[in-house]
Each structure stands twice: as structure tokens, then as C-alpha cells.
């Protein structure tokens, strides 16, 4: 029993540390790119949907968020944090990036995006799919589909790259399982 509790504590601390590093990284993304994402998120919220269920999920999100601008920011953050975490040789398993080949199944990415916005798993997946489809032409990621022989499902490949992303990855690897800082250490004078 104590071993499983320890694993749970480590996973929780790991997710907390990873989320903090990802949030810090997102603040460094070019403001012009972020504004393009905000504009697309606003369009996603305000445009009329062909599907009644999609329209209902967006209205539910508007109900839970204070205003449209806070929902726009939540969508942009959810999308950025999820796509950045698909960095080549990363994979999200239980919310924690781990080594992989740089692509994730669409369902996994959609679920990660959706869980930033919804608590219900079905709504999370469906909203995440809607967001992935709406933002597909911006260039943050590639949606790749193969035949049944190549891929069992479509995959998402991140287009983020660069030395900052390599630094982010090394910082996450170094601090992933450190427990959260409860009290800041005293300065010795």
C-alpha cells in the first residue's frame, strides 16, 4: 500500500512540475503567433456549428468560464501545452511526458486538450477533436492519416522545435519527479 501511495505522490509532483515548465515555455512563444491562436479560438467559440452537440459543448464551456476572453485563453493554453508536450521522443501517459517517437494518436491529444476544459471524458474528447480540426491549418501540428496497414489511427505530430524546446525537455527531465517546494529556503546572510 505504501509503495502505491509513493508512486501516486511522485506522479502528482511530476505532473505539477511539468505543467509549470510548460506554462513558462508558452509565455516565450511569439506574441504574433499567440494572437493568431486567440483569433482562431474566438472564431471557434463564436462561429455557428453544423453539429448541435458541438454547439452545446461550446455553450457549456461559456457557462463554466467567466467570460469569452477567459475561455479563449484556456483554449490557447490547452492547445499549446498539449502540442508542445508532443516534442519528439516525448509521449503523454497519465499526463506525464515520457520518451516516444514524436507523434501521438489523435484521440490522446484530443483528450489532453479537452481535459483542460471539461471534466467529463466524452465531452473532453469531442471538444478536443473539434479544437484540433479548427486549428489544423495554422501550422502548429500536422494531422497524419494512413491506411489500415500503416496506422491504426490518425496521429498528431508537433511542429515545435528549437533550442528552447530542447532546454525545456532537459529541465523537465531534471525536475520531473522532484516534490513541489512547500517552503522557500531561507537566505543565509
Mean pLDDT across the chain: 77
The answer to whether position 146 is within a domain reads yes
Q: Residue 102 burial (CB < 10 Å; 0-12/13-18/19+)?
A: middle
- Structural domain contains residue 181: no
Task: Label residue 172 by pLDDT band (50, 70, 90).
Answer: confident
Do the Cβ atoms of 114 and 96 come closer than 8 Å?
Answer: no
Residue 10 predicted with pLDDT over 70:
no
- The answer on pLDDT for 89 being more than 60 is no
188 in any annotated domain: no
Has residue 57 been placed in a domain? yes
**Is there a domain that residue 37 lies in?**
yes
Q: Is residue 186 one of the residues assigned to a domain? A: no
* Adjacent-strand bridge partners of 91: 98
Rounded Cα–Cα distance for residues 1 and 43 (Å): 49
The structural domain count of the chain equals 1
Report if residue 128 sits inside a domain.
yes
Structural domain of residue 39, as residue ranges? 2-175
Label residues 47-80 b or e (16+ Cβ within 10 Å = b): eeeeeeebeebbeebeeebeeeeebbebbbbbbb
DSSP state of 154: -
Amino acid at each position: 500500500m505504501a509503495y502505491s501511495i509513493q508512486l501516486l505522490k511522485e506522479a502528482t509532483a511530476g505532473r505539477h512540475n511539468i505543467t509549470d515548465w510548460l506554462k513558462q515555455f508558452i509565455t516565450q512563444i511569439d506574441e504574433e503567433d499567440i494572437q493568431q491562436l486567440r483569433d482562431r479560438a474566438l472564431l471557434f467559440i463564436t462561429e455557428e456549428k453544423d453539429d448541435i452537440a458541438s454547439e452545446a459543448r461550446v455553450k457549456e464551456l461559456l457557462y463554466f468560464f467567466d467570460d469569452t476572453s477567459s475561455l479563449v485563453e484556456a483554449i490557447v493554453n490547452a492547445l499549446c501545452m498539449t502540442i508542445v508536450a508532443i516534442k519528439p521522443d516525448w509521449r503523454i501517459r497519465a499526463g506525464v511526458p515520457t520518451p516516444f517517437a514524436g507523434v501521438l494518436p489523435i484521440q490522446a491529444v484530443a483528450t489532453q486538450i479537452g481535459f483542460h476544459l471539461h471534466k467529463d471524458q466524452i465531452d473532453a474528447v469531442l471538444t478536443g477533436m473539434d479544437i484540433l480540426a479548427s486549428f489544423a491549418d495554422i501550422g502548429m501540428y500536422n494531422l497524419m492519416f494512413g491506411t489500415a496497414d500503416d496506422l491504426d489511427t490518425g496521429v498528431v505530430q508537433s511542429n515545435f522545435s528549437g533550442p528552447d524546446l530542447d532546454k525545456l525537455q532537459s529541465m523537465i527531465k531534471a525536475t520531473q519527479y522532484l516534490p513541489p517546494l512547500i517552503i522557500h529556503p531561507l537566505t543565509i546572510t
